[in-house]
Amino acid sequence: MNKNDLISNVASAANMSKGDAAEAVEATLNSISSE
């Protein structure tokens, strides 16, 4: 699974737009990588 697949899955599971899901995924990944 790549990042685009993850964004699509998050958008579908959370019933949100892909743009909103992309922001959520980016924020999550940035938070993890900054720790």
Give pLDDT, residue 9: 98
Give pLDDT, residue 35: 73
Please give the structure tokens belonging to residue 16.
């949100």
CB neighbourhood size of 5 (10 A)? 9
CB neighbourhood size of 6 (10 A)? 15
Q: What is the pTM of this model?
A: 0.83
Q: Rounded CA gap, 21 and 8, in Å?
A: 8
Write out residues in the chain with pLDDT < 50, as ranges: none
Give pLDDT, residue 28: 96
Phi, psi of 21, deg, nearest 5: -65, -40
